[in-house]
Structure 1
């Protein structure tokens, strides 16, 4: 990994501010930022401190896989009480909808209703592997700038592994750097949310699973959950691509970590 691959290592700038992705994910739009009003119950919400003293962070998410596209990454800055997803626990509805269908609507609704989430943003397009095997012209990394009050001490990042039945890549409740100009680099793994069987069939995956890697038009696909494939499981490390269906492990498989997340406090 070199400075040339990740320009934020050598110069400060946001590279790919983009748009909110809703439903089965659109590919463009304006950056979504959701901020909560300050309240007086910080201790109840897990903050333990009053708001104020806005802090600004730049968060860069990069796709490290050779053959797995991501939905636009969602980044939330929040108090430590927030848990969007947790390994070993059942997935909530927003995580299920993102993991199975690329649907961010329930997650955005959760953000809007949760005071402990102080701000959030969603990237403007899917992130494809650096080699761009489907010749999409889409980026493999994206940067977002977010500002929140001092009670937002932690960050969560989540995105769908598009060419899976119910896979996500992300970080759950990691601590933010506290000092201006301080930065941290995290590596994020893939997770199976345990809500849908891993058929690895294009007809059971969202349509871009095929076109973003192989190019051309998708042959079938769905952006709706199929009750016949439902599992009653918990979030766990993703087993990867087995090759039992339409997905070739040599094309769609990956080694962990699946993503790099760099966060810098800039103000």
Structure 2
């Protein structure tokens, strides 16, 4: 049995689609696919938790733990925060970077928690991340598929300059960009507008290549099999 929804929409839509009853120790098989052409995902953090705990919230300021993930790919503080609050956490199921077009599949026992969240930084971006916020875990066994949006943590200007973001060896940056933005225009977590980039590898406004680093939502797909 397959059910489809857009997880980028508000949680209430998911709750209406899947019901509001709590789930009890659901065994989940989760597949996350990087659906972009040239954007990489840093190590994923996936968590099941109660309704009063959130990995992130659109329209609200990013926590320091979310900022560390969104700007540098560091999930350790988020993992500690959620784990200490009683959530179930899966760290780095892909065993490192999730390349464009690649997928990772892993098992997770949600315990007695009713909600699922995930995030990972998008490279190259200033503070962009793929995210799933408090998706209601279905009580009915079956296969559930959806697309995932990217979000901006609102903690750093999207200048798209190599000096402002991680520089892994598998990404080729340009140089000499003047900067797409000079200041933060929205300091709350919000849907990411995507990279702009340019075609000038030695100047222009961005150090990103618009033929490979430009993207729009959605950026990922997720399949969840509830056993």
TM-score past 0.5 threshold: yes
Q: What does the per-residue CA deviation read over 1:193-220, in whole Å, with 9 as the maximum and x for residues that have no partner?
A: 1101112111211122xx3344xxx899
Cα shift at 1:119: 4.0
The equivalent of 1:118 in structure 2 is 88
1:57 aligns with 2:28: yes
Q: Does structure 2 conserve the Cα–Cα contact (< 8 Å) formed by 1:161 and 1:167?
A: yes
The equivalent of 2:8 in structure 1 is none
In the aligned structure 2, how far is the partner of 1:68 from the partner of 1:100? 15
- Give the match's secondary structure for 1:57: strand
1:247 aligns with 2:208: yes
Q: RMSD value over aligned CA atoms?
A: 2.6
1:236 aligns with 2:196: no
Cα shift at 1:251: 1.3
The equivalent of 1:134 in structure 2 is none
In the aligned structure 2, how far is the partner of 1:184 from the partner of 1:232? 33
The equivalent of 1:152 in structure 2 is 113
Greater per-residue strand proportion: 2
In the aligned structure 2, how far is the partner of 1:119 from the partner of 1:194? 25
Cα shift at 1:154: 1.1
Structure 1 stretches of 4+ with a deviation exceeding 6 A read 228-232
Q: Does structure 1 conserve the Cα–Cα contact (< 8 Å) formed by 2:43 and 2:73?
A: no
Q: What does the per-residue CA deviation read over 1:142-173, in whole Å, with 9 as the maximum and x for residues that have no partner?
A: 11211132x31110011101200000111100
1:104 aligns with 2:75: yes
Q: Does structure 2 conserve the Cα–Cα contact (< 8 Å) formed by 1:77 and 1:155?
A: yes
Which of 149, 162, 185 in structure 2 is aligned with 1:202?
Answer: 162
Cα shift at 1:230: 7.2
Q: TM-score by structure 2 length?
A: 0.77
Pairing 1:151-230 to 2, within 5 Å after superposition: 151-180=112-141, 182-208=142-168, 211-214=169-172
The equivalent of 1:34 in structure 2 is none
Cα shift at 1:79: 1.5
Q: TM-score by structure 1 length?
A: 0.66
Cα shift at 1:111: 2.0
Given the superposition, is the C-alpha separation of residues 119 and 201 from structure 1 closer, same or farther in structure 2, using an over 3 Å criterion?
Answer: closer
In structure 2, list runs of 5 or more residues that go unmatched. 3-20, 176-181, 198-204
Q: Does structure 2 conserve the Cα–Cα contact (< 8 Å) formed by 1:59 and 1:263?
A: yes
Q: Does structure 2 conserve the Cα–Cα contact (< 8 Å) formed by 1:241 and 1:248?
A: no
Q: Does structure 2 conserve the Cα–Cα contact (< 8 Å) formed by 1:99 and 1:167?
A: yes
In the aligned structure 2, how far is the partner of 1:238 from the partner of 1:188? 12
Q: What does the per-residue CA deviation read over 1:201-248, in whole Å, with 9 as the maximum and x for residues that have no partner?
A: 11211122xx3344xxx899xxxxxxx977870011111112222012
